Structure 1
């Protein structure tokens, strides 16, 4: 392969030894649009990746909820990260392994997996974060760059959690398209901390539990925006774009988040071993059970487009932070895990309805405008 001339921009508030973002910095462009206007444009055909939402600025009350959640769940996240890291090692070995997280929810998880492998096996595994966009695929320029830096790279893709499985399918298609265009085979298996959608083959748990980094946006993801693919401001074969919100440095908890969980690795060795043994008895083959729940919700509430249904704690949080919600469905058996969902819904006057018939703790439904 010819050496790509393109280099990514240095961005993000993480330490460079934790992750390299393969993105083009578009901070000087104004493409933020308020939720209502953005929702209208998406629903009338503009692709979501061409614009950005206005970043949600959390209240003091909501931030203290994030800190409480981090304290409550840091051990659970550390166990899940260790379980995923061990499976990645078993599957790929450590030689030539390259971790590739999907920006931005995957980025802190990729850092935790990299740090766990360093802690346990004293190896420094390269870790990059790249863009993947529903309906547009992953950033092939970023993958070219990785192969340019690591000719024998065994790439392992990482994300935070699964919802309906749209990204799992997108990744499969992107890997096939990359093979057709570049002649290089990629393993499209996705590893996630939580797989409530039952659509990933490597996971820490299939419980729909709250991963604290789902509570916030850029301030827990290296101050990087959601990724953008807008050819009005990006060249055809360039990296996908993102903003670097330097002005939010005072509110940034990205490094605090990964440092807090990393400290738990020394205390959870036995739990990781137990969980791995338990998972070996489970069939990891994706059953797409989550999609069956979504189809039931679609039928029950008369929703014509499944894109309006965002299941799982992580996706419901995103609906409340970035979209215009119609209502939130909550599984009453899991409501103790959903304090931040209930708080955000109350802040935005979004109705909450109890609904048990799903494999998720909750589900956000977008308002049709």
Structure 2
């Protein structure tokens, strides 16, 4: 298997996926920021026409994340005939509970299914070329991809459910431990099923037993820890630029913006470059922040973190301190792991 080609296919999906995450996430954050006076109420984020409109736009953009990821991985593999099958693979991953990882695996499956069909039909005369593009690739490709997604979802979705059960078992015992676990999970697969499980579990704690909206320590741990992940990569790249490639140095601005806006995906290029050194550092830094936020008893009333919702945090100074400490830990670990590597041009 050509890992370089696979990496390029993955990055193709990521490059089209990120704008939907950033744009949709910022719209959602603005909806809650502009509606902060209604925090802890059932109408939080939708109390008037304007914030409800922002919420709707953000939700729509975020809803296209996984279909776009699958579509452009498949497009990178099989060109335009792969778009349909990849998009449906991503949509099936979203609806089937396998989320990011399912969309990635589904995108690869869809792309290679269509690529296989292209090779099998290579002998068809050019006069019948339209049959391939209008019938064979869409219909047969879609059918085979949908069957593949049944298997993918059946394997990946139960993993997410098991993680949710594990987190529920921690919530009543040790808040700091739960905060640390949430932080580490957010960093572990950078938007994959583990990350999504931690996030969805955190969001669920914003609802009380009677269905009302409440502030949550778990959501605050999630919101602050997520900021550490991409921001730590950007800070390390700023402090030690010679240890990073020119492409990564160019990616640090986006990592700053995404990190401070709650989006862990800004760390993906850095982790992909040196996963064994960067990823453990991010997990530890995010875990430290999550534990500190929970230990301080800080709460957040919005289902998204980042500086956009800072006004909705119960103790802003300690929240920022927790963020700074976790970021410092992650950056120090990154430097420790890469300090002896040769400088890059």
TM-score by length of 1: 0.28
Answer with 1 or 2: which has the greater Rg. 2
More helix by share: 2
Q: Which has the higher contact order (CA 8 A, sep 6+)?
A: 1
